[in-house]
Every structure is written in C-alpha cells, then in structure tokens.
Amino acid sequence: MKIFATYNIKGGVGKTAAAVNLSYLAAREGYRVLLWDLDAQAAATFLFRVRPRVKGGGKGLIRGTRSVDGAIKATDFDRLDLLPSDFTYRNLDLVLDAAKKPARRLGSLLAPLRAEYDVVFLDCPPGITLLSESVLQAADTLLVPLIPTTLSVRTLDQLTEFVAGMNGHRPSILAFFSMIDRRKRLHKEISEQLPAQRADVAAAAIPSMSMIERMSVERAPVTAFAPRSPAARRYAELWQEARKRSKLPEPKPDDAW
C-alpha cells in the first residue's frame, strides 16, 4: 500500500482537485483506492457525492473508539472508496494533541487497511499543524501543488527543509505546477524552467482551466465526466509520474476498466 498526500501550507492551490482526480485515475487503472478527506471543508467528500457525516466524529476515529473501516463509504466508482470528513474535523488538531504519539497516529490508523487497499490518498487542509505532521509521517509521497510564483518555490524549499529535519520516516516530495495561467509571463517562465532544474518538480503540470472548476457543478472528477479533455490528460500525466516516482507496482491488467 502506498500513501500519497496532497499537501501545501497554502490554501486554494489545487490539493483537492488533484487528490480527487488522481484517486479516480488510480482506481480506473485497477488499483484499490481509498481517499481520506481530512479537511473540515469536506470538498473531496462533496465532489464524490458522499454525505459529510462521520459517526462519532473525527474524535472517534483518532481516539480509536470508532473503527476507520466502519466510516468508509463507497463512491459511484468501482474500487474507489472514500473516508468522508465532517465539520468535527475542524478540531482534529486538538484531538490529536490529546492522543499518544500524535505524529504517528494517522499512520497507525491506516496500517490495518494494508490488505484492503493498494493506494491511499490523504487530502489535507492547508496549514502546518499537528495534523500535517501526522500526514507527513504517514505519507510515502507528498504531492505538492504550486502556483508558479517565486514565493511558491520558497514554500517548497521550506517544506523540503522541514521534511529533511524529520526523525525516522521521511516522505518523498513531488511538487507540480497547478493553476498555471499561460497569459502570465512569470507563470509561463517558472513552470517551463523549474521542472528541468529540479528533480522534485514534476514535468506534468495542471493549467488553470474552467473545465476543472466545473467539477463542483458536476460533482465528479474531470477525469470521469470529461475523460478526453485536455484537463483530464494533464491529470493522467501527473498520475503516471507520481505512480512511477513512488515505485507503485503495476496493477493486475485484468482489473482495469
């Protein structure tokens, strides 16, 4: 089981859009996938048409009084399950703070699911909190969407430094450009130059596209409702790069849709 987390300290950069589309693509390819929506805004939960309701709340899951397995919901798509979030997730940091070894908590909650899933995506809220630390400890690969500005590159350097300073497990980092506005010269320059210069920046990138915004109207991944669109192709490229980078073994071919 490989754990990917879409993470950035910044909000509104395309974390949820990536988590939703890459989860869908992984499932379509034949992997058994779980997407855990860790954000109280419940955007990923909404996009997969699941009710944002967790019995016992986030607290029950983190404390272990409710099983993670029992909270998992099916989506409309084969092999793709969702662990929804609800508004109680806004207090997840406080609950984690009261737990033993909070930074390891998510990892240990996910460990029993190893036999059931090949791929897990964690869709994180923005910020750098105890929850994010727990995500960093649990994840094999961090997928970091970056808006192509000089500051975003700084954010990536800060994250890289933080991860380098972690004890024990360190996730690998794959950043990718997100919401590229081709009309902006700076966007174009940075997003064309950086992938060639840095191994931690993906060659695949996601432009700003109204088709991607439409996901909240369709309530489905763009890769599902417009699989042949340029937007879907970009996410497919990103998924292939993330899959290879994480050394995820090929799925059994007879499982693909």
Ligand X SMILES: Nc1ncnc2c1ncn2[C@@H]1O[C@H](COP(=O)(O)OP(=O)(O)OP(=O)(O)O)[C@@H](O)[C@H]1O
Where along the sequence are the contacts to ligand X (CB under 6 A)? Answer: 11-17, 39, 41, 43, 125-126, 178-179, 206, 208-209, 212-213, 215-216
What is each CA distance from 18 to 72, 143, 166, in whole angstroms? 20, 9, 25
- Find which of ligand X, Mg ion, none residue 141 binds, CB within 5 to 8 Å per kind: none
Is there binding between residue 15 and Mg ion (CB under 5 A)? yes
Q: Which is nearer to ligand X, 152 or 178 (CB)?
A: 178
- Contact between 96 and 102 under an 8 Å Cβ cutoff? The reply is yes
Q: Which is nearer to ligand X, 52 or 251 (CB)?
A: 52
* Cβ at position 42, least distance to ligand X in Å: 10
- Scanning 35-43, 163-171, 200-208, 233-241 for contacts with Mg ion by CB under 5 A, the matching segment is 35-43
- Find which of ligand X, Mg ion, none residue 171 binds, CB within 5 to 8 Å per kind: none
Is there binding between residue 135 and Mg ion (CB under 5 A)? no
Residue 42 structure tokens: 């419940």
Q: Which is nearer to ligand X, 71 or 179 (CB)?
A: 179
* Cβ at position 253, least distance to ligand X in Å: 31
Cα angle, residue 228 at apex, residues 184 and 49 outer, rounded to 5°: 90
- Find which of Mg ion, ligand X, none residue 204 binds, CB within 5 to 8 Å per kind: none
What is the C-alpha separation between 164 and 172, in angstroms, rounded? 10
Q: Which is nearer to Mg ion, 35 or 194 (CB)?
A: 35
Provide long-range contacts, Cβ within 8 A and 24+ apart, for 240-246: 240/204, 241/174, 241/176, 241/202, 241/203, 241/204, 242/4, 242/22, 242/141, 242/143, 242/174, 242/202, 243/26, 245/141, 245/172, 245/174, 246/2, 246/4, 246/140, 246/141, 246/172
- Scanning 28-36, 43-51, 138-146, 172-180 for contacts with Mg ion by CB under 5 A, the matching segment is 43-51
Which residue, among 227, 174, 172, has the nearest Cα to 205 in the 3D structure? 174
Is there binding between residue 246 and Mg ion (CB under 5 A)? no
Q: What is the dihedral of CA 164, 165, 168, 171, to 10 degrees?
A: -40
* Cβ at position 94, least distance to ligand X in Å: 20
Q: Which is nearer to ligand X, 32 or 234 (CB)?
A: 234
What is the C-alpha separation between 158 and 248, in angstroms, rounded? 27
Is there binding between residue 16 and Mg ion (CB under 5 A)? yes
* Cβ at position 125, least distance to Mg ion in Å: 7
Site residues (CB under 5 A) for Mg ion? 15-16, 43
